[in-house]
Chain A
Amino acid sequence: MVTLASRNIGASIPRLEAREKVTGRADYVHHLRLPGMLHGKIFRSTLPHARIKSIDTSAAAAVEGVYRVVTIDDIRTVIPHPYYGPAFHDQPVLADGKVRFAGEPVAVVLAQDRHVAEVAAGLITAEYEELPYVEDEVEALRGEVMVHDELRPAHTFADLKYLQGRKGTNVALDYKLRRGDVAAGFAKADRIFEHTFRAQPVMHTPMEPFVSIADVADGRVTLHTASQGPSFVRIEIARLLGWPENRVRVKVPYLGGGFGGKLYIKLEALVTALSLLVERPVKISLTMEEQFFMVTRHACTFNIKSGVMNDGRIVARHCEVIWNGGAYADIGPRVTQKAGFTSAGPYDIENVAIESYAVYTNRPPAGALRGFGAPQTAWAYECHMDMIAEELGLDKVEFRRINLLREGRPQASGTPMKDAALDKALEHVADRLNWSAPFDRGSGCIRRGRGLAIGFKGITSPTTSVAVVNLFGDGSCALYIGTVDMGQGSDTVMAQIAAEVLDIGAASIRVIHSDTDVTPYDMGTLGSRSTFHMGTAVRLAAEDAKRKIEALAAELGLPPRSNAPLSELFKRKYGMQAGNIIGTATFIPDYQKPDADGQSTKATPFWGVGAAGAEVEIDMETGQLTILRLINVADVGTALNPRLVRAQLSGAAIMQLGFTTTEHMVFRDGQLTNGSLADYKIPSLLDMPREFISEWVESRQDSGPFGAKGAGESTTIALSPAIGNAIADAIGVHITDLPLTPEKIFRAIRQAAGAPLPGE
Chain B
Amino acid sequence: MTVPRLIRFVLNGRPVSAQVMPHETVVEMLTQQFDLRGARESCGQGLCGCCTVHLNGKPVSGCLQLAALIDGGRIDTVEGLEKGRQLDPVQQAFIDAGAFQCGFCTPGFIMMTKSLLAEHPDPSDDEIRHYLTGNLCRCSAYPEIIEAVRLAARRTAQAPLAMAGGAA
Contacts of A205 in B (CB 8 A): 138
Give the Cβ gap from A295 to chain B, nearest Cβ, in Å: 15
Given contacts A651-B139, A655-B138, contact A18 B95 (CB under 8 A): yes
B107-143 toward A: CB 8 Å interface, digit per residue (1/0)?
1001000000000000000001110111111111111
Cα(A647)–Cα(B147), bound, Å: 13
Q: Decide if B128 touches A685 in the complex (CB within 8 Å).
A: yes
Q: Decide if B139 touches A487 in the complex (CB within 8 Å).
A: yes
B-binding segment of A24-32, A304-312, A516-524 = A24-32
Residue A688 lies at the interface, judged by CB distance under 8 Å to chain B: yes
Contacts of B61 in A (CB 8 A): none
User: In chain A between 641 and 677, which residues have their CB closer than 8 angstroms to a CB of chain B?
Assistant: 643-644, 647, 650-655, 676-677
Give the Cβ gap from A629 to chain B, nearest Cβ, in Å: 14
B: number of interface residues (CB 8 Å): 56
| Closest B residue by C-beta to A650 | B143
Contacts of A24 in B (CB 8 A): 36-39, 77-79, 106-107
Q: Decide if B103 touches A256 in the complex (CB within 8 Å).
A: yes
Residue A683 lies at the interface, judged by CB distance under 8 Å to chain B: yes
User: In chain A between 292 and 337, which residues have their CB closer than 8 angstroms to a CB of chain B?
Assistant: none
Cα(A722)–Cα(B43), bound, Å: 31
Q: Decide if A31 touches B102 in the complex (CB within 8 Å).
A: no
Given contacts A647-B101, A676-B43, A677-B43, contact A688 B142 (CB under 8 A): yes
User: In chain A between 690 and 704, which residues have their CB closer than 8 angstroms to a CB of chain B?
Assistant: 692, 694
Residue B153 lies at the interface, judged by CB distance under 8 Å to chain A: no
Give the Cβ gap from B136 to chain A, nearest Cβ, in Å: 6
Cα(A654)–Cα(B106), bound, Å: 17
Given contacts A26-B103, A257-B138, A686-B129, contact A288 B44 (CB under 8 A): yes
Given contacts A18-B95, A31-B40, contact A683 B140 (CB under 8 A): yes
Q: Decide if B137 touches A686 in the complex (CB within 8 Å).
A: no
Q: Decide if B45 touches A682 in the complex (CB within 8 Å).
A: no
Q: Decide if B102 touches A644 in the complex (CB within 8 Å).
A: no
Cα(A206)–Cα(B42), bound, Å: 9
Q: Decide if B100 touches A682 in the complex (CB within 8 Å).
A: no
Residue B26 lies at the interface, judged by CB distance under 8 Å to chain A: no
Given contacts A26-B103, A207-B105, contact A654 B140 (CB under 8 A): yes
Q: Decide if B23 touches A115 in the complex (CB within 8 Å).
A: yes
Q: Decide if A643 touches B98 in the complex (CB within 8 Å).
A: yes
Q: Which of A31, A207, A647 contacts B37 (CB 8 A)?
A: A31
Contacts of B141 in A (CB 8 A): 647, 651
A14-51 toward B: CB 8 Å interface, digit per residue (1/0)?
11011111111110101101000000000000000000
Q: Decide if B38 touches A257 in the complex (CB within 8 Å).
A: no
Give the Cβ gap from A457 to chain B, nearest Cβ, in Å: 20
Secondary structure at the B interface, as helix, strand, loop or mixed, is loop
B25-60 toward A: CB 8 Å interface, digit per residue (1/0)?
000000110001111101111011010000000000
Cα(A643)–Cα(B144), bound, Å: 10
Contacts of A676 in B (CB 8 A): 43, 45
Q: Decide if A677 touches B103 in the complex (CB within 8 Å).
A: no
Contacts of A115 in B (CB 8 A): 21, 23
Q: Decide if A682 touches B136 in the complex (CB within 8 Å).
A: yes
Q: Decide if B45 touches A678 in the complex (CB within 8 Å).
A: yes
Q: Decide if B77 touches A682 in the complex (CB within 8 Å).
A: no
Residue A254 lies at the interface, judged by CB distance under 8 Å to chain B: yes
Contacts of B102 in A (CB 8 A): 206-208, 254-258, 486-487
Contacts of B100 in A (CB 8 A): 21-22, 487
Q: Which of A21, A33, A488, A678 contacts B106 (CB 8 A)?
A: A21
Residue B146 lies at the interface, judged by CB distance under 8 Å to chain A: yes
Contacts of A688 in B (CB 8 A): 129, 142-143
Contacts of A257 in B (CB 8 A): 101-102, 104, 138-139
Contacts of B95 in A (CB 8 A): 14-15, 18-19, 22
Cα(A306)–Cα(B102), bound, Å: 42
Q: Decide if A31 touches B31 in the complex (CB within 8 Å).
A: yes
Contacts of A28 in B (CB 8 A): 37, 40, 104
Contacts of A443 in B (CB 8 A): none
Q: Decide if A207 touches B48 in the complex (CB within 8 Å).
A: yes
Cα(A31)–Cα(B91), bound, Å: 21
Residue B71 lies at the interface, judged by CB distance under 8 Å to chain A: no
| Closest B residue by C-beta to A488 | B101
Cα(A205)–Cα(B138), bound, Å: 7
Q: Decide if A209 touches B42 in the complex (CB within 8 Å).
A: yes
Residue A508 lies at the interface, judged by CB distance under 8 Å to chain B: no
Q: Decide if B43 touches A650 in the complex (CB within 8 Å).
A: no
Q: Decide if B146 touches A682 in the complex (CB within 8 Å).
A: no
Secondary structure at the A interface, as helix, strand, loop or mixed, is loop
Given contacts A688-B142, A692-B143, contact A288 B103 (CB under 8 A): no
Interface residues on A, range: 35 or more
Residue A462 lies at the interface, judged by CB distance under 8 Å to chain B: no
Q: Which of B82, B87, B103 contacts A487 (CB 8 A)?
A: B103
Q: Decide if A208 touches B31 in the complex (CB within 8 Å).
A: no
Given contacts A208-B102, A685-B146, contact A655 B140 (CB under 8 A): yes
Given contacts A256-B102, A647-B141, contact A207 B82 (CB under 8 A): no
Q: Decide if A650 touches B94 in the complex (CB within 8 Å).
A: no
| Closest B residue by C-beta to A28 | B104
Residue B145 lies at the interface, judged by CB distance under 8 Å to chain A: yes
Give the Cβ gap from B141 to chain A, nearest Cβ, in Å: 6
Given contacts A254-B103, A651-B101, A651-B140, contact A23 B79 (CB under 8 A): yes
Contacts of B105 in A (CB 8 A): 207
Contacts of A647 in B (CB 8 A): 98, 101, 139, 141, 144
Contacts of B45 in A (CB 8 A): 288, 676-678
Q: Decide if B104 touches A15 in the complex (CB within 8 Å).
A: no
Contacts of B23 in A (CB 8 A): 115
Given contacts A24-B77, A688-B129, contact A207 B138 (CB under 8 A): yes
Residue A601 lies at the interface, judged by CB distance under 8 Å to chain B: no
Q: Decide if A686 touches B133 in the complex (CB within 8 Å).
A: yes
Cα(A209)–Cα(B104), bound, Å: 10
Cα(A18)–Cα(B141), bound, Å: 14
Q: Decide if A207 touches B136 in the complex (CB within 8 Å).
A: yes
Cα(A15)–Cα(B98), bound, Å: 8
Cα(A115)–Cα(B23), bound, Å: 9
Q: Decide if A685 touches B145 in the complex (CB within 8 Å).
A: yes
Contacts of B136 in A (CB 8 A): 207, 677, 682, 684
Cα(A339)–Cα(B35), bound, Å: 45
Residue A287 lies at the interface, judged by CB distance under 8 Å to chain B: yes
Give the Cβ gap from B138 to chain A, nearest Cβ, in Å: 5
Given contacts A257-B138, A683-B140, A685-B146, contact A21 B130 (CB under 8 A): no
Residue A489 lies at the interface, judged by CB distance under 8 Å to chain B: yes
Residue A259 lies at the interface, judged by CB distance under 8 Å to chain B: yes
Give the Cβ gap from B27 to chain A, nearest Cβ, in Å: 11
Give the Cβ gap from A715 to chain B, nearest Cβ, in Å: 11
Contacts of B101 in A (CB 8 A): 257, 487-489, 647, 651
Contacts of B79 in A (CB 8 A): 23-25
Cα(A647)–Cα(B98), bound, Å: 8
Given contacts A19-B87, A257-B102, A654-B140, contact A685 B133 (CB under 8 A): yes
Cα(A19)–Cα(B39), bound, Å: 16
Q: Decide if B44 touches A287 in the complex (CB within 8 Å).
A: yes
Residues of A within 8 A of B (CB): 12, 14-15, 17-26, 28, 30-31, 33, 64, 115, 204-209, 254-259, 287-289, 486-489, 643-644, 647, 650-655, 676-678, 682-686, 688, 692, 694
Closest 3 CB pairs of A and B: A24-B38, A256-B104, A487-B102
11 A-B pairs with CB atoms under 8 Å apart are A22-B87, A23-B82, A24-B38, A207-B105, A208-B42, A257-B101, A288-B48, A486-B102, A647-B141, A655-B140, A688-B142
Residues of B within 8 A of A (CB): 1, 21, 23, 31-32, 36-40, 42-45, 47-48, 50, 77-79, 81-82, 87, 91-92, 94-96, 98, 100-107, 110, 128-130, 132-146
Told that A23-B91, A207-B102, A686-B130 touch, could you supply 17 new A-B pairs with CB distance under 8 A? A22-B78, A22-B100, A23-B87, A24-B39, A24-B79, A28-B104, A206-B102, A207-B50, A257-B102, A257-B104, A487-B102, A647-B139, A652-B140, A677-B43, A685-B128, A686-B129, A686-B133
